[in-house]
């Protein structure tokens, strides 16, 4: 089994991410929003990465890439970080279809949760999955997330509004500071 690593996204990751996203565009159409053609290009990804790193510099996100055998195979991160009385963030992730079923997604989520707790000092992490995304739900359950509600017609993907399950996890090491 190849090791799974996670690191902060870098501008040089644009071509690799564009390649993965282009390759899986049809496979993920059911799960992801429609994007412009530019999004799937190295320049488009360079723009996305610049925005993600700007959010990171402001303390609003921790955008990472999933790496195996020194190759970028997906993305994982914590976004929409709120401080003050909330101290929470939103977990998002995807792994290329070529690398699914090998445990990379679950290991990447575990690594992201460590960053959320140890580096970001968050108290709570939330995530969403579409109702029929059982694989993603299994990953979240494995890491101690629990469902807390369903939002109907919450997300537009694949030409239709999709219902989503809302997930939550309280991080054990967070202090009431």
- pLDDT tens figures, 110-148: 999 999 999 999 999 999 999 999 999 999 999 999 999
What integer is the mean pLDDT of 5-16? 96
Inform me whether the pLDDT recorded for 64 exceeds 90: yes
- Contact yes or no for 80/61 (Cβ under 8 A): yes
What per-residue confidence (pLDDT) applies to 153? 93
Question: What's the average model confidence in pLDDT over 73-100?
Answer: 95
Is residue 177 scored above 60 in pLDDT? no
Report the distance separating Cα 74 and Cα 76, nearest Å: 7
Beta sheet of 88-95, edge-to-edge order:
5-8, 62-68, 71-82, 88-95, 124-130, 160-170, 146-157
Tracing tokens 């690593």 back to the chain, one arrives at 5
Alpha helix positions (H), 3-64: 14-23, 42-57
Strand partners for 161: 156
CATH architecture group of domain 5-126: 3-Layer(aba) Sandwich (3.40)
Q: Which two tokens stand for residue 25?
A: 């565009």
Q: What would the mean pLDDT of 45-73 be, rounded to a whole number? A: 96
Mean of per-residue pLDDT scores for the chain: 93
d(CA 61, CA 82): 9
């Amino acid at each position: 089994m190849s090791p799974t690593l996670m690191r902060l996204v870098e501008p040089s990751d644009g071509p690799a991410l564009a390649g993965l996203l282009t390759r899986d565009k049809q496979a993920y159409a059911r799960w992801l929003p429609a994007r412009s053609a530019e999004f799937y290009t190295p320049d488009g990804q360079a723009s996305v990465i610049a925005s993600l790193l700007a959010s990171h510099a402001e303390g609003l996100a921790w955008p990472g890439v999933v790496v195996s055998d020194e190759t970028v195979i997906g993305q994982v991160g914590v976004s929409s970080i709120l401080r003050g009385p909330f101290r929470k963030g939103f977990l998002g992730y995807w792994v290329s279809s070529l690398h699914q079923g090998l445990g990379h997604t679950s290991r990447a989520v575990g690594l992201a949760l460590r960053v959320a707790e140890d580096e970001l000092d968050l108290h709570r992490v939330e995530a969403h999955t579409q109702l029929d995304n059982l694989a993603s739900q299994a990953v979240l359950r494995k890491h101690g997330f629990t469902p807390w509600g369903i939002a109907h017609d919450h997300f537009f993907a694949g030409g239709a509004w999709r219902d989503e399950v809302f997930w939550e996890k309280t991080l054990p090491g967070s202090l009431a500071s």
